[in-house]
Homo-oligomer: A and B are copies of this chain.
């Protein structure tokens, strides 16, 4: 019996289920580090990492870029006689891919899965029809939905924003699309629902009312949450920060900005961050920084696993390969409690000139291996406790005595100032940054 899903057509015919062959394997279609059932820190690798495949980049995108037309030919589109048939073929291709790869989750936008109709009602009908088929395939394969979302940035009607559109009618259309996407997510047992606000920002401040737009955005998020909770949805809501692109400026700039927004509008109980590595970079932050920042505020949720190119100022959405980066990411994630409803969603695309069908597999394999290696290193960092021990000791003066009293809020400025009456060598203590960096490297090199 096949160990992967196959619809009427096998869309990746030469490729079998990807298996773990270990670090010395020469096979480009095998895992070198990701061994799903292997236990790390008392938990299976696959349960730590909760890999998800992104429907859009993997099955919809065609390799076009602002200067070039499509290079990726999708057989699942080519062999269909109607958009709805193409959608079902795409679904087959997707589940074939998920199961061959061994990813237990996927993520989608409404428009990835089913074509837009000529009215909101028809769009909804289209989507729910495909959702029904997806549900069957989920049941057949055990692959689950990590999160769903609504694409409210592609259509011209959203060119001035969706929830933040200056025209109320568009806001209403956005609401109808969100409602349907939430319904689809619930129907598929999705563990989360994500908002990435690609056009929730501005092209020019000259024509923009910042306050009104942000208030509207908060209103829509509040209404969406209330609706889903009313329908019994227990999953998590995510905001995915991104500073810009396609908008000149996007309101969900980075983790700190979104945290301020969520708290201000009373949304921080239901919403968490979906942190993308490439977006972190575009905002002037390391991926590790964004993860730690979210974790420090209790707002870490999920990850869009990819990388950017620090030499290119746009969202290149490349597959993650740096296990220095994945190790630090997993170190942050494990210390934040690991994934609960979240996971590692590959919001990554193969290069425009990667036109072999196998490239999509190899790219995911590379990303999964990078995170598996990172997980192993991160677990060792935690087990050894060298790094955390150093940090704990560094702040020890706040653990007792006057330092602890200060931290609890029991002092006035005069009292505190009175303690600071003698200059001396206070503060001239090495941060030991180079040692800590060497220690991290040693974990990586000793995998």
Query: Is there contact, CB below 8 Å, between A435 and B311?
Result: no
Query: Is there contact, CB below 8 Å, between B354 and A407?
Result: no
Which one, A43-51, A127-135, A391-399, is touching chain B? A391-399
Q: What are 23 contact pairs spanning A and B, CB under 8 A?
A: A65-B246, A68-B158, A69-B156, A71-B428, A118-B423, A157-B423, A159-B352, A159-B428, A160-B353, A166-B397, A167-B429, A169-B420, A169-B426, A172-B417, A203-B353, A206-B440, A223-B412, A259-B260, A354-B430, A354-B433, A356-B432, A366-B438, A366-B441
A390 to B209, CA, bound (A): 11
The answer to the question of A365 belonging to the interface, with a C-beta cut-off of 8 Å to chain B, is: yes
The answer to the question of A77 belonging to the interface, with a C-beta cut-off of 8 Å to chain B, is: no
Known A353-B203, A433-B354: A416·B172 in contact at CB below 8 Å: yes
Residues on B with C-beta less than 8 A from A387 are: 206
A289 to B311, CA, bound (A): 11
Residues on B with C-beta less than 8 A from A314 are: 245, 313-314
A44 to B445, CA, bound (A): 21
Which one, A93-101, A136-144, A278-286, is touching chain B? A278-286
The answer to the question of A9 belonging to the interface, with a C-beta cut-off of 8 Å to chain B, is: no
The answer to the question of A16 belonging to the interface, with a C-beta cut-off of 8 Å to chain B, is: no
Interface size, chain A (Cβ < 8 Å): 163
A27 to B158, CA, bound (A): 30
The answer to the question of A120 belonging to the interface, with a C-beta cut-off of 8 Å to chain B, is: yes
Query: Is there contact, CB below 8 Å, between B431 and A68?
Result: no
Query: Is there contact, CB below 8 Å, between A245 and B312?
Result: yes
Interface centre among A33, A66, A363 (most CB of B within 10 A): A66
Chain B: which residue is nearest A436 at the CB level?
B206
Which one, A187-195, A269-277, A316-324, is touching chain B? A316-324
A227 to B156, CA, bound (A): 45
Residues on B with C-beta less than 8 A from A383 are: none
Residues on B with C-beta less than 8 A from A289 are: 205, 249, 311
CB distance from A153 to the nearest CB of B (A): 5
Known A159-B428, A249-B311: A414·B179 in contact at CB below 8 Å: yes
The answer to the question of A37 belonging to the interface, with a C-beta cut-off of 8 Å to chain B, is: no
Chain B: which residue is nearest A434 at the CB level?
B363
The answer to the question of A2 belonging to the interface, with a C-beta cut-off of 8 Å to chain B, is: no
A37 to B67, CA, bound (A): 37
User: Contact mask A187-227 → B, CB, 8 Å, 1/0?
Assistant: 00000000000110001111111111011100100111011
Query: Is there contact, CB below 8 Å, between B154 and A68?
Result: yes
Query: Is there contact, CB below 8 Å, between A446 and B167?
Result: no
The answer to the question of A369 belonging to the interface, with a C-beta cut-off of 8 Å to chain B, is: yes
Q: How many copies does the complex hold?
A: 4
A288 to B310, CA, bound (A): 13
Other than the known A166-B395, A169-B426, what 14 A-B pairs have Cβ atoms closer than 8 Å? Answer: A65-B66, A160-B431, A166-B394, A168-B402, A172-B419, A178-B413, A205-B292, A206-B437, A207-B436, A313-B313, A351-B431, A359-B432, A369-B438, A369-B445
A322 to B440, CA, bound (A): 10
The answer to the question of A340 belonging to the interface, with a C-beta cut-off of 8 Å to chain B, is: no
The answer to the question of A350 belonging to the interface, with a C-beta cut-off of 8 Å to chain B, is: yes
Query: Is there contact, CB below 8 Å, between B323 and A310?
Result: no
A387 to B207, CA, bound (A): 8
The answer to the question of A79 belonging to the interface, with a C-beta cut-off of 8 Å to chain B, is: no
Query: Is there contact, CB below 8 Å, between B261 and A426?
Result: no
The answer to the question of A38 belonging to the interface, with a C-beta cut-off of 8 Å to chain B, is: no
CB distance from A405 to the nearest CB of B (A): 10
A167 to B254, CA, bound (A): 29
A414 to B285, CA, bound (A): 38
Known A263-B264, A427-B170: A159·B283 in contact at CB below 8 Å: no
The answer to the question of A244 belonging to the interface, with a C-beta cut-off of 8 Å to chain B, is: yes
